[in-house]
């Protein structure tokens, strides 16, 4: 589960880079935010199952940072831009 969460974090990071362009903020709602939530969920499940803590912790931290960045980006763009 931790590997899946870390993989989702990588995908969410790529999507966050693409949706950082002007007028693509709507992509945060559709792509980045849900994938970041999945990354956080899978990473948390990996940590709670007692896996080796490095990979799930990396996925959890990256998911939270990407989610915060996406929500910040939506806040400065009024939720649309």
pLDDT of residue 20: 86
What is the average pLDDT across 62-69? 96
Identify the weakest region by mean pLDDT among 7-11, 22-26, 46-50, 55-59: 22-26
Assign 3-class secondary structure to 21-72. CCCCCHHHHHHHHHHHHHHHHHHHHHHHCCCCCHHHHHHHHHHHHHHHHHHH
Give percent above pLDDT 70 in the chain.
99
How far, in Å, are 17, 77, 81 from residue 21 at the CA level? 8, 11, 9
> Model pTM?
0.89
Average pLDDT over the chain, rounded to whole?
Answer: 91
């Amino acid at each position: 589960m931790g590997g899946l969460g870390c993989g989702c974090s990588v995908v969410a990071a790529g999507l966050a880079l693409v949706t950082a362009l002007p007028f693509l903020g709507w992509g945060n709602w559709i792509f980045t935010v849900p994938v970041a939530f999945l990354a956080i969920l899978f990473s948390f499940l990996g940590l709670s199952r007692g896996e080796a803590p490095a990979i799930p912790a990396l996925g959890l931290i990256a998911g939270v940072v990407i989610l915060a960045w996406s929500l910040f980006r939506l806040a400065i763009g009024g939720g649309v831009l």
